[in-house]
Amino acid sequence: MGEPIETLDGWFVWHQLTTVDWPTWWGWPPADRDAAMAERLLLWEAWTALAGNQQGSVGVYQMAGDRADFLTIHLRPTLDELIDLKASLQRTAFYAVERPHYSYISVVELATYVAKGNPDPETNPELRARLHPSLPPRHAVCFYPMSKRRQGADNWYMTDRAARAHLMRGHGAVGHKYSQQVTQIISGSQGLDDWEWGVTLLADDPIWFKKLVYEMRFDEASARFAEFGPFYVGTRLDPQGWTRRLGGR
Ligand code: 76R
């Protein structure tokens, strides 16, 4: 029978995917657009300052394809802060042209299947850092939610702990080959959102997402047990890039 393992839980994460109502935006007088962008940039500065104090992290990305225009990944110590953050966005003028496309709430998670050494984040700084990750300034991002299958012989939650640990070792070994090219953040969302985990991958070259996910599909943990939600891919924006994307200077 299945038996849970201990998970180490870190910061709360909000993956916020939005589109912009472009016809309305371009219809605004330039001065109103400038003011709306300046107001947002002030918020962004405040988020960056939080990150400097290890109280969160933020990444803003422009997305490929026409599902979503922007992805913002917000990390915060508590769910309350993510809720306050939403309220602060909703008070800005820009919110009038922003449309939610997809939203995902989860918690940074380290599963202890393959834990080595001291598994206590209170006294292990490396673990603590992984539970409170700062989004590295890598060029490309890939995000998707996923679950583990619960079907017939392929029921992750009925698989015994030793067998799952064996599978996760295989999974980790495949993943580890890409540890230089791809930064991965796994966040758990059981009880929080529609899927069971959010997968966030960051790389300088997006081709690594394809290579890693393709190879992982052949690994038993993914081949037998993984079910996937929608995939999103894009590239990082700094405040200047975001302003240019919105037609500002
Ligand atoms: O935390 C660790 O790095 C230790 C090993 C490890 C665990 C426990 C690990 C390593 N992962 C773990 C857990 Mn992972 N991971 C995914 C996906 O697309 C797919 O097929 C699956 C999506 C990718 C691409 C990926 C990448 N991982 C998990 C879990 C939780 C399982 C549970 O608790 O039941 C999920 C859902 C998941 C999914 N993983 C790695 C990677 C990579 C690149 C690594 C190696 C990291 C490194 O060594 O630097």
Is the CB–ligand 1 distance for residue 50 below 6 Å? no
pLDDT at 249: 80
Q: What is the pLDDT of residues 123-179, one digit of tens each?
A: 899 999 999 999 999 999 999 999 999 999 999 999 999 999 999 999 999 999 999
Q: Sorting pLDDT into bands at 50, 70 and 90, what band is 118?
A: confident
Mean pLDDT of all residues in the chain? 96
pLDDT at 103: 98
Q: Catalytic site residue 144?
A: yes
Distances (CA, A) of 26 to 20, 35, 77, 122: 10, 14, 37, 50
Give φ, ψ of 62 to 5 degrees.
-100, 140
What string of H, E and C letters represents the secondary structure of the chain? Answer: CCCCCCEEEEEEEEEEEEEECHHHHHHCCHHHHHHHHHHHHHHHHHHHHHHHCCCCEEEEEEECCCCCCEEEEEEECCHHHHHHHHHHHHCCHHHHHEEEEEEEEEEEEEECCCCCCCCCCCCCHHHHHHHCCCCCCCCEEEEEEEEECEECCEEHHHCCHHHHHHHHHHHHHHHHCCCCCEEEEEEECCCCCCCCEEEEEEECCCHHHHHHHHHHHCCHHHHHHEEECCCEEEEECCHHHHHHHCCCC
- Of 69, 129, 109, nearest to 190 (Cα)? 109
The answer to whether residue 59 scores a pLDDT higher than 90 is yes
pLDDT at 114: 75
Q: What is the pLDDT of residues 176-216, one digit of tens each?
A: 999 999 999 999 999 999 999 999 999 999 999 999 999 99
Q: How far apart are CA 38 and CA 56, in angstroms?
A: 22
Q: What is the mean pLDDT of residues 96-113?
A: 96
Which tokens go with 2? 């299945």
Is the CB–ligand 1 distance for residue 131 below 6 Å? no
- Nearest-atom index, ligand 1, CA of 115: 4
Q: Do residues 7 and 111 lie in contact, with contact meaning Cβ atoms separated by under 8 Å? A: yes
Is the CB–ligand 1 distance for residue 151 below 6 Å? no
- Nearest-atom index, ligand 1, CA of 197: 36
- State in Å: Cα 3 to ligand 1 middle: 19
The answer to whether residue 116 scores a pLDDT higher than 80 is no
Is the CB–ligand 1 distance for residue 2 below 6 Å? no
Q: What is the pLDDT of residues 12-33, one digit of tens each?
A: 999 999 999 999 999 999 999 9
- Among candidate residues 61, 113, 144, 178, the one labeled active-site is 144
Question: Which of 184, 214, 217, 233 to probe ligand 1 with, by most ligand atoms within 8 A of CB?
Answer: 184
Q: Do residues 9 and 192 lie in contact, with contact meaning Cβ atoms separated by under 8 Å? A: no
Does this model's pTM top 0.85? My answer is: yes
Q: What is the mean pLDDT of residues 82-102?
A: 98
Q: What is the mean pLDDT of residues 35-50?
A: 98
Q: Do residues 188 and 133 lie in contact, with contact meaning Cβ atoms separated by under 8 Å? A: no
Q: Sorting pLDDT into bands at 50, 70 and 90, what band is 2?
A: confident
Q: Do residues 188 and 106 lie in contact, with contact meaning Cβ atoms separated by under 8 Å? A: yes
Sign of CA dihedral 173, 206, 197, 49: positive
Task: List domains and CATH numbers for the chain.
Answer: 7-245 (3.30.70.1030)
